[in-house]
Chains A and B, each alone.
Chain A
Amino acid sequence: DAGVIQSPRHEVTEMGQEVTLRCKPISGHDYLFWYRQTMMRGLELLIYFNNNVPIDDSGMPEDRFSAKMPNASFSTLKIQPSEPRDSAVYFCASSLWTGSYNEQFFGPGTRLTVL
């Protein structure tokens, strides 16, 4: 298995532009998570899906952020308009519920820089 795939790996954009981050989870996994990592705030859960349905988006910082999961093999995180404070590494993770715990597998991340 190729693991969780994220694209692009690096994104540099200007303030006000729309940014779309993409994620392909591990085949067969039923949970998908989006995280943001910064030095100041560490790893923050933004939103997670179960069987393509958003379950908890309480971590999404504001309305500029949106996430979709149109099918079991693809998810997007969109920021519109982007701001310099959105600069961070964004991780996607997926997992398969075993009935007792949820081992999450992380992708390599997208490093976003907003100028």
Chain B
Amino acid sequence: QQQVKQSPQSLIVQKGGISIINCAYENTAFDYFPWYQQFPGKGPALLIAIRPDVSEKKEGRFTISFNKSAKQFSLHIMDSQPGDSATYFCAASHQVTGKLIFGQGTTLQVKP
């Protein structure tokens, strides 16, 4: 119940295309869903986050879609750029403990 399942494990997209990464959770006590971006040799950095009271959040080219009933959420990267090539982690935070449970990560490669 503490798991967050992320897919796909890896993704190759052409420049200008749309990258989509999906996550699913089971624990209804999760109440905060961030996405982290990690470049090689660096720590993860917060990219965008959503609370379950909204179904979508957009920041620039990055959009989170959230489906509370299905317990799923996804990251969409519009107009993908080579500079977006990185590993992306979804996560879910428990409303009581504040612990973050991370998905397994998706390695994105955007080809020029």
Q: Are A101 and B32 neighbours in the complex by a CB distance under 8 Å?
A: yes
**Stretch of B11-19, B76-84, B100-108 with 4 or more beta carbons under 8 angstroms from chain A:** B100-108
Q: Are A43 and B34 neighbours in the complex by a CB distance under 8 Å?
A: no
Q: Give Cα A4 to B46, complex, Å.
A: 14
Q: Is the interface of A mostly helix, strand, loop or mixed?
A: strand
Q: Give Cα A33 to B99, complex, Å.
A: 9
Report B18-77 residues with CB < 8 Å from chain A CB.
Answer: 31-32, 34, 36, 41-46, 49, 51
Q: Are B32 and A107 neighbours in the complex by a CB distance under 8 Å?
A: no
B7: interface (CB < 8 Å): no
Q: Which of A33, A103, A108 interacts with B42 by CB under 8 Å?
A: A108
* B interface residues, tally (CB under 8 Å): 23
User: Can you show 16 pairs from A to B with CB atoms below 8 A apart?
Assistant: A33-B100, A42-B102, A42-B104, A43-B102, A43-B105, A45-B100, A93-B43, A101-B31, A101-B93, A102-B32, A103-B46, A103-B49, A106-B44, A107-B43, A108-B42, A109-B42
Total of A-B residue pairs, C-beta within 8 Å: 53
Q: Give Cα A11 to B22, complex, Å.
A: 35
Q: Which of B49, B89, B101 interacts with A101 by CB under 8 Å?
A: B49
Q: Give Cα A105 to B103, complex, Å.
A: 17
Task: Give the interface centre of B42, B99, B104 by most chain A CB atoms within 10 Å.
Answer: B99
User: B39 → chain A, closest Cβ, in Å?
Assistant: 11
The 6 closest A-B pairs by CB, nearest first: A106-B43, A102-B98, A101-B32, A43-B102, A42-B104, A106-B44
Q: Are B43 and A102 neighbours in the complex by a CB distance under 8 Å?
A: no
